[in-house]
Every structure is written in C-alpha cells, then in structure tokens.
C-alpha cells in the first residue's frame, strides 16, 4: 500500500482519504483545478478543485442511477441534454438507448472532456458517437434560448461551490423545465441526505413549484462524502413509470429492486424535509 494519500475535505466536519500510487494529471485550467490519480483499489480517480468526481471502481452507482431513472420513464426518448458530465460516464449510459437520436452535452471546461477520454477509457470515448453534440459553454447561457426541446435533461454537476452555485438556483431549474418537453424528465445531482438537508429541502421546494412529480432518491458511491449521494427527479410523469421497463443491456449497479428502493428515505430525512 502506498503512503501517498488523496485527502478530500468538502465539509468542515468530515474528511476522507484514498491511497494512491501515481499522479497522472495535475492542471489548473481557466475554470478549475483538475487532477487524476491512479489508485490500487479504486483505479483512476478524477478530482476537481480537490473534490472527488468519479473513480473507475464505483462510478456506476452514480452514472447508472442519474441516467436510467429518468430515461426509463420515457417511451423511446429521442433527445437528451446532459449539463456537465464532461468525463463521459453519463453520456455513455444515455447512448445505450437505440431510440436516442440527439445527445447534447454542455460542459464548461473542455479539459474535463479531454481528461475523461484519456484516463477513463472504460467509457469508450462516447463523444465519437454521431448522435453526440458537444457544447463547450456555460449551461446557464446555453439554456436561455431553448424551449420544449428535450425528452430528458440530466444535470451531472459538481457540488454547489464557486461557479457551480448558480446550477442550484430557482432560475436554473426554471430554465431546465422550460427546455423540457411537457412530460419529459429531469434528474439533478442533489447532494447527501446526512450533510445537506437544507439544500435538499430548498431544491425539493423548487421542484414542487415547477412540476407535478418531484422526488428525491439516492445511491451508494463509497468515494463520495458519507458513502452516497442523492438526486432530484422532476417531471410531470411519475418516477414509477420507469419501473419494470426493459433495460438497454446489462447493468453493473442498477436492478429493479434498487430502482424502487432508491426512493425510500429514512424517517429523520423525511421529517427534516417536511419541517
């Protein structure tokens, strides 16, 4: 075991560390600090501004859950927007649906895309697919002129720190809903129920003001703070419409039982959100 450690402290009361073997990338871009490390247990690990974004070993718990939950609610989804997600993991899952004709990925920092292609080859460089349109732009600006275009929007964003804070505002959520077809579905990264109750409560309130069927669900990702992360589902179509639908091939994390159970939340969290 190496004595070199990646130490992440997203919260003042909580930190975690991963042993690594080699530093593969360490670059300050115009927007953020990108690092990639090779580890023995988790494989390659990408950090943005010191926060772990994904690892080779446990990314499926995130990418499969943020992608397939909304996609399965749609009958033959054709147009999908991914906000962020420059590493390519969510895009890989979206492209598994033969019905998808257009997959737009709007990423602020081109270097994240390039690092994903180079250091996470398991995603198969989905940007080479002819259905993909890569937009290097601020998603806020990109969404301004779009109305009713997408069947599914997936906000695969970083944590609400710095430039990403505006992606957790009522204005941004309204822009996403405006860009959605009437019964399309949105899923957003929505933090962790033990650490971020107030933020989740605020986001749920926004969702309730915009769509008929908002819901919070969660997944296990050992390298994220607290070992997991949540998502906000927003749609005029209930999330249960996605149950018992055929998957677009084998899954690594998602199962029918996990799909249903992901929306079951502990009592303390339900009480806090309802208060």
Distance (Å) of CA 68 to CA 72, 129, 190, 211? 6, 19, 16, 19
Residue 13 tokens read as 């009361």
DSSP 166-194: GGGSHHHHHHHHHHEEEEEEEEEE---TT
Q: Are 242 and 72 in contact (CB under 8 A)?
A: yes
Distance (Å) of CA 10 to CA 70, 258, 271? 28, 27, 25
Q: Are 46 and 109 in contact (CB under 8 A)?
A: no
Residue 208 tokens read as 């309730």
Half-sphere exposure of 219 (CA within 13 A, CB side): 24
Per the annotation, the verdict on 156 as an active-site residue is yes
Element (H, E) at 70: helix 60-71
Catalytic residue among 49, 156, 159, 196: 156
Q: Scanning the structure block, which residue is given the tokens 């499926």? A: 60
Q: Are 57 and 42 in contact (CB under 8 A)?
A: yes
Compute the CA torsion angle 100, 116, 188, 97 (nearest 10 deg).
Answer: 20
Q: Which residues are catalytic?
A: 156
């Amino acid at each position: 075991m190496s004595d070199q450690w990646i130490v992440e402290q997203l919260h003042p009361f909580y930190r975690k560390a991963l042993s690594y073997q080699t530093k593969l990338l360490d670059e300050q871009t115009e927007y953020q600090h990108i690092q990639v490390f090779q580890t023995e247990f988790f494989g390659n690990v990408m950090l943005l501004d010191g926060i772990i974004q994904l690892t080779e070993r446990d990314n499926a718990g995130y990418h499969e859950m943020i992608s397939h939950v909304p996609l399965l609610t749609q009958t033959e989804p054709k147009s999908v927007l991914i906000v962020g997600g420059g590493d390519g993991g969510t895009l890989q899952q979206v492209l598994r649906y033969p019905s998808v004709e257009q997959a737009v990925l709007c990423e602020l920092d081109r270097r994240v895309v390039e690092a994903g292609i180079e250091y996470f080859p398991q995603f198969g460089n989905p940007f080479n697919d002819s259905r993909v349109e890569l937009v290097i732009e601020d998603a806020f600006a990109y969404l301004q002129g779009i109305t009713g275009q997408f069947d599914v929007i997936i906000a695969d964003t970083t944590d609400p720190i710095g430039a990403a804070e505006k992606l957790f505002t009522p204005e941004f959520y309204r822009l996403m809903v405006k860009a959605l077809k009437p019964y399309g579905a949105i899923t957003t990264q929505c933090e962790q129920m033990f650490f971020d109750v107030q933020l989740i409560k605020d986001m749920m309130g926004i969702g309730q003001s915009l769509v008929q069927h908002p819901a919070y669900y969660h997944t296990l990702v050992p390298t994220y703070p607290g070992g997991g992360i949540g998502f906000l589902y927003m749609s005029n179509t209930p999330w249960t419409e996605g149950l018992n639908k055929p998957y677009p091939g084998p899954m690594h994390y998602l199962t029918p039982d996990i799909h249903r159970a992901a929306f079951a939340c502990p009592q303390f969290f339900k009480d806090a959100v309802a208060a």
